[in-house]
Amino acid sequence: MDMKSDLFSFALALTMTALLGVGAMPSCLAQTALSKAISKEASTDASNATSKAAGDLESQSQSQAQSQAQFSGQFFAGVSEAELAQVFSKFQSCFVMLDLKRSKFHKINADLCSTRFSPCSTFKIFNSLVGLDTGVAKSERQVFAKKSESGLEEAQTMQAAMTNSLVWYYQAMAEKIGMARMKHYLKKVPYGNADATSGGGITRFWLGDSLKISPDEQVRFVADLVEDRLPFKTRSMAIVRGMMRLSENDKGILYGKTGSMMKDGKNELGWFVGYLVKPHGTYVFCTLIKAKDTSLDAGTPEDLQKQEDESNKAWGKQARKLTEEALSKLGLW
């Protein structure tokens, strides 16, 4: 019986007493009926209160989770942007990282990340893809040769040319690809400003010349390479990814390519672009470092010389070193 039935029983007992003139209803009967009614009501109220409390707790937990998610968006792995920026502080620099699993970007110096520069030797990634897709290179073991200054012939595979960043090898391959096909792929991807109309022609346009690409665009390009979204054959992309493999430790596998540019005999620009594969996800990154202008800095001649010497390290190997330091600080490498 529910609460209404218990109340009805209590009322019926009172009515029967009045009609039959029996006198007062036995107190035990009245108390029993009333107790049942009150007990049922209290039980119902308690149940409702428990349900409400559970609902409030769940709502509170969801609110806290949302708050934590919003907070975590300002940092990565508990490291603030200011803390990470210290890694790159000796240079004009930027760092951009894409967490592929969460489609989330993390950046240091966003303005510089959106500025285009010559890709330098990072263009070897693109050049390799075009070489493979056009059949100029059959595989990573494709051999090209040149005569050295001593007159001896030097032969190298594409894998060796990527690993050791051999400019002559990729210039030879670009000549075999030809400007028409190269321009076609530059626009089809597209790769940066897709401009190969330099005075240096097919062998120079990516080396401090007309072709420009931003760190943001580098990351998108490599992300598309990782996920087979570029307009190249799947086989070509798989081969190039394999060629980019650099090192492995207990935290993951590092892939990448450096790039450097010199001006007036000094290191002017350093790139490191690539990705890190971990058990729980993949992180695509790009670091760009530029030499600082120390001409207006104050200090002793010795201090200024030290600053200039540090700034002159703005090249690809230094960009890679700083990237690995940053990834380590983030707990990824």
Catalytic annotation, residues: 121
Label residue 232 exposed, middle or buried (CB < 10 Å: 0-12, 13-18, 19+): buried
CA distance 302 to 210: 38
Sign of CA dihedral 204, 207, 213, 219: positive
Neighbour count for residue 239 (Cβ, 10 Å): 22
Say what the alpha-carbon torsion angle 9, 12, 14, 17 is, to the nearest 10 degrees: -130
> What DSSP string describes 63-131?
HHHHHHHHHHTT-BTTB-HHHHHGGGTTSEEEEEEEETTTTEEEEESHHHHTS-B--GGGGHHHHHHHH
CA distance 105 to 73: 10
Residue 169: strand, helix, or coil: helix
CA distance 101 to 284: 11
CA triplet 223, 232, 134: central angle to 5 degrees? 140
Q: What are the backbone dihedrals phi and psi of residue 173, each rounded to the nearest 5 degrees, phi first?
A: -70, -40
Structure tokens at 240: 């190039």
Q: What are the backbone dihedrals phi and psi of residue 98, each rounded to the nearest 5 degrees, phi first?
A: -115, 120
Residue with tokens 């470092």: 289
Phi-psi region of 273 (alpha: psi -120 to 50; beta: other; left: phi over 0): beta
